[in-house]
Structure 1
Amino acid sequence: MNAMTRRAVMGTAAVSMALALSACGDAGGDGQDERSPTKIGLLLPENKAARYESLDKPQFEKAVKRSCLDCEVVYANAASDVVKQKQQFDQLVADGVKVIALDPVDSAKAAGWVKEAKAKGVKVVAYDRAIQGADAHVSHDNYAVGELQGEALLSALGAKAATARIVMINGDEKDPNAVLFKKGAHMALDGRVGKIAYEASGEWDPKVAGEKMTAAVASVGKDRIGAVYSANDGMAGGIVTSLENAGIKGIPVGGQDAEVAGIQRIVAGTQTFTIYKSPLDLAPKAAEFAVDLLLDVPIRAQTQTDGVPSNLLDPVVVDRTNIQSTVIQDGIYTAADICTPDLADECDELGIK
């Protein structure tokens, strides 16, 4: 359904539901409930990873406006606090928001919230992380993300892979996506590298990841680490700092999310690759599902995740060879965003413009 068709559907739905939807307009001073049924909630889980504020939120808001001119996005970020996110969720329900796109801090706990909300007529789109009982789910193929990370690490190691000792710094174990990243990475790496010499959770926190990397150096040995798997770019930043402090240079370090800092480290040569999960795909699809659920229009899902209608999008490896043709060509970043003065020569060499 394109934007024009969806607006037409919205008009039809507004006529047929009249008072219930207030004609998808403003509730005036005629005694109607001022809580607008055209509000869509967006709750994101944390602000340690830059992508949520700089990419996901604005792309979701733009996509909602393209599909539903009268819709308003009500946004909040939980800053990694599950109690805070529950309060945000409950507030949206209390304010009469009928559709909420939720990227949960804790998916297991969020399943209970969804059950309670559905009893009150509220529909939920599981944004990125799956939630049992949600009305729809949009994410990337997170198992494939882990596999791509593992394969990219193998490619960077080349002939050294068979004897290399690998450090793995995984994501938060409460995050179901982190579990899938880890499984996919192990599928690619197990039996194809010399040894997973150290493995721990970095809890999606650059500081924690850096501390775990320092512990790995002490455990494995400064000169015996062949490569580092980092579940995302934020943690990769802490890991790279730890490696530099230990005097370790030139080993492959992978990440995920295509954050601008991660791209800059790739340009600089301190990070080897990242995984690009385009918000140009994720946020608009989640917004489409949210608007369709608001209008009671059947959603168009490709598959199911634990019984929830789902779309799983394809991730892409980004390294020094394809920065221009991915994140810049898609308009996620400009060359000026990436190419700070200290990276000007490297950007010229890579043809980033």
Structure 2
Amino acid sequence: MARGRIIRGVVLAGAGLSTLLVAACGSGDSGAGSSSGSGGGGGAKVAFLMPDTGSTRYELHDRPGFEKRLKELCPSCQPLYNNADGSADKQQQQFNSALAQGAKVIVLDPVDSAAAASLVNAAHSKGVKVIAYDRPIPDIKVDFYVSFDNEKIGNAIATSLLEKIKQDPVPSGSGLLVVNGSPTDAAAGLIKKGVHSAVDSSGIPILAEYDTIEWKPENAQKFVSGQISRFGDKIIGVVAANDGTAGGSIAAFKAAGVNPNPPVSGNDATVAGLQLIIAGDQYNTISKPSEIVGGAAAEVAVKLLNDESPETTGDLFGSPSKLYDPTLVTAENLKAEIVDKQITPASELCTSEYAAACQKLGIS
């Protein structure tokens, strides 16, 4: 998924970071350093450990955003990147490898938020700083947490969906399906909390709810298929926690011959999710360009390397945090928020299958 994003000059962790002395960044491990930057080899190593390849965002957006900003702020620093492919055991091996290679800061997006507490303890015992990224680590205090505000995301997608549903009379006995994210992901728990903050007081009942193992769309599809058999047309909406679970939910309705399917929420503004919105199958998503949080994590890492305190928006689970506000996207503002802001180009969204629908929305 090659995107033509243009996100320049993002400075999210406090003013003046770009003037940090390179020498301060390059005072870390003297082993295999980077040859780039004004200081040459010997730069401090900063690990960036992502959880899975199920979402293309980590390779295409988070990693480039992090590495670009790290190089800008600390040319002699050396990034160490790894992806755990959804395995907590593999992530533990990668974390231990980063420690063995002399990483001074580790940015960790945990596969299993509870299991990650032991990783943080291992790092702290060696004097290594840990930045929790995207997914928090609730059971232990980390040195910093960087993310979009996941609780706000849950509230926003559910509130938007409910407003859509309530445009028409709600039939007696009807209700929602709630398709949450992975039960091992603390960020999914925050999204779930935000969803319930909107749904529980809405007057519209939840017919069934499911925590999607490993965030896999096929697991969401199996759950929704079972509920279609159980509830049929009593299902008037699906609050799905991300675009993958939304896509699985929509596939279940299509397989059951339900056309049109009821409104379905999403999150992440993936190309697939945006195309489903363009086609009218998915109702909303959340735009949160992950280059932003990737760059912010690099800025926090450099601050920690220099024994400085990063700017916060408060504490979460006892850890200093910087949370960014999400942007809700529906068909009404997709062009303005996604295409016009050059987050995803029209050429990538409006392939032949979606060309006519794009024209109806004024996207070209």
**For 1:250-276, what per-residue CA distance to the aligned partner results, in whole angstroms no more than 9, with x for missing partners?**
310111111110001101111111112
TM-superposed deviation, 1:184: 1.2
Aligned letter for 1:298? S
Counterparts in 2 of 1:291 and 1:194: CA distance versus 1, 3 Å: same
Alignment correspondent of 2:87: 81
How many percent of aligned residue pairs carry the same amino acid? Answer: 38
Instruction: Check the 8 A contact 1:123/1:135 in 2, yes or no.
Output: yes
CA–CA separation in structure 2 for the residues paired with 1:59 and 1:197: 40
Aligned-partner SS, 1:40:
strand
The answer on whether the counterparts of 1:48 and 1:234 sit within 8 Å (CA) in structure 2 is no
Residues 245 and 41 (structure 1 numbering): CA distance in 2 closer, same or farther, change over 3 Å? same
In the alignment, is the contact (CA less than 8 A) between 2:88 and 2:111 conserved in 1?
yes
TM-score, structure 1 normalization? 0.90
Aligned pairs for 1:180-199 within 5 A: 180-199=190-209
Q: Paired residues, what number?
A: 342
Query: Per the alignment, in what secondary structure is the counterpart of residue 108 of structure 1?
Result: coil
For CA contacts below 8 A with separation 6 or more, give which structure has more relative contact order. Answer: 2
The separation in 1 between residues aligned to 2:195 and 2:70, in whole angstroms, is: 34
Q: Secondary structure at the match of 1:98?
A: strand
2:135 to 98, 123, 129: 129
Match of 1:30 in 2: none
CA displacement, residues 230-268 of structure 1 (integer Å, 9 cap, x when unaligned): 111011111111110111123101111111100011011
Q: Is the 8 A contact 2:107 2:297 kept in 1?
A: yes
Match of 1:339 in 2: 350
Structure 2 length-normalised TM: 0.87
Aligned residue in 2 for 1:224: 234
The residue that corresponds to 1:50 in the other structure is: 56
- Judge which range, 52-61 or 98-107, deviates more: 52-61
SS at match of 2:49: strand
1:146 equivalent to 2:157? Answer no
Q: Secondary structure at the match of 1:168?
A: strand
Residue 242 of structure 1, aligned match among 224, 227, 252 = 252
Residue 171 (structure 1) shift? 0.7
More displaced stretch, 279-288 vs 39-48: 279-288
Cα distance in 1 for partners of 2:344, 2:113 equals 30
Gaps of 5+ in 1: 28-33
Query: Aligned in 2, Cα 1:48/1:12: closer, same or farther, shift over 3 Å?
Result: closer
Which structure carries more helix by proportion?
A: 1
Conserved? CA contact 2:24–2:305, under 8 Å = no
RMSD: 2.4
Report the CA distance between 1:12 and its aligned residue.
5.1
Q: CA deviation at 1:53?
A: 2.1
Contact 2:17 2:299 in 1 (8 A): no
Offset of residue 323 of structure 1: 1.6
